[in-house]
Amino acid sequence: MAVPDYQSNMLPLLELAGNGKEFHHREASEELARHFKLTEEERKELLPSGQQHIFENRVGWAITYLKKAGILESTRRGYFRITARGLKVIQDKPQAINISFLRQFPEFVEFQATKRDKSDKGGQEEDRELYTPEEAIESAYQKLRKNLTLDLIQMVKKVSPSFFEKLVVDLLLKMGYGGTRKDAGEAIGKSGDEGIDGIIKEDRLGLDVVYVQAKRWENPVSRPEIQKFAGALQGQKARKGIFITTSSFTKDAIDYASRIENKIVLVDGEELANLMIDHGIGVATAASYEIKRIDQDYFNED
């Protein structure tokens, strides 16, 4: 089954705590994973940031919302248990516990009023409540990044050949290749021989070199182009190459590159744009947000 959303965790979580026992967040996650019969792969699914497991994040927010409604309470660092109100809720045997259910409690209404624009109503509000706050933030971030990637690809396709050459140099230097800018610029600038656009140091000491070809194309790069590049590498007795394009690679081209002895890394337009974003080439930071949490160690009086 798919990983249940955080609201689907609320009722089984409360039923789990119904025996009055003190639970650790991690213990609750383990019990609920078994309850939902999640596979190991489903339990290991990560948020887009790769910083946290989706299921643990959703269980954590289910616990938080039940606490805000006075149904659960914190006992000590990382632990919680059911309250008298929570026991009463269980006795009433609700068919489901969700955001709408929790709005019967004034504390929860007050909590929501502090975190949401009250004018945000209707379908948008309902859609948003399917996700935890982290998921909503990361979803918005991924949409912004996707749009930026598409715009960046179009921008790169419009630049002159010499500027594209400079862009490739800037990116490879930021990624740690090329030694000095002078070395990298001269290497990439010596283009056109045997299907090789340039040679760049793999590290600052120049212990190995990487051959580079860059194509500012609209049409997909096909297998013959990769074969030509691989042949050029063999002619130079080279082992490594990077083929960069602003377009894409055909399936045959990708398959061929994966099977030959020479190591050829294929970088298509989308990956090129993502690498530029990751390494700050051609982009500027518009805004920066920090997500903070309670520092439990600071409040530990033991």
> Which domains does the chain carry?
6-131 (1.10.10.10), 154-278 (3.40.1350.10)
* pLDDT at residue 192 greater than cutoff 60: no
What is the pLDDT averaged over residues 93-103? 95
Could you count the other beta carbons within 10 Å of the beta carbon of residue 179?
Answer: 16
Q: Which pLDDT does position 135 carry in this prediction?
A: 87
Strands, sheet with 23-24, edge to edge from the N-terminal-most edge strand: 23-24, 79-82, 72-76
**What average pLDDT score do residues 239-263 get?**
93
Alpha helices in the chain (DSSP H): 10-17, 25-35, 40-43, 54-68, 84-91, 99-102, 106-115, 123-128, 133-158, 161-174, 181-189, 223-235, 251-259, 269-278
Q: What pLDDT score was predicted for residue 180?
A: 66
The dihedrals phi and psi of 220, each to the nearest 5 degrees, come to -60, 145
**Contact (Cβ atoms closer than 8 angstroms) between residue 80 and residue 67:** yes
pLDDT value for 193: 41
CA distances from 91 to 7, 13, 86, 95, 149 (A): 19, 15, 9, 12, 52
Per-residue pLDDT band for 190 (boundaries 50, 70, 90) equals low
| 203 neighbors 241 (Cβ within 8 angstroms) | no
The conformational region for residue 277 under phi > 0 = left, psi -120 to 50 = alpha, else beta, is alpha
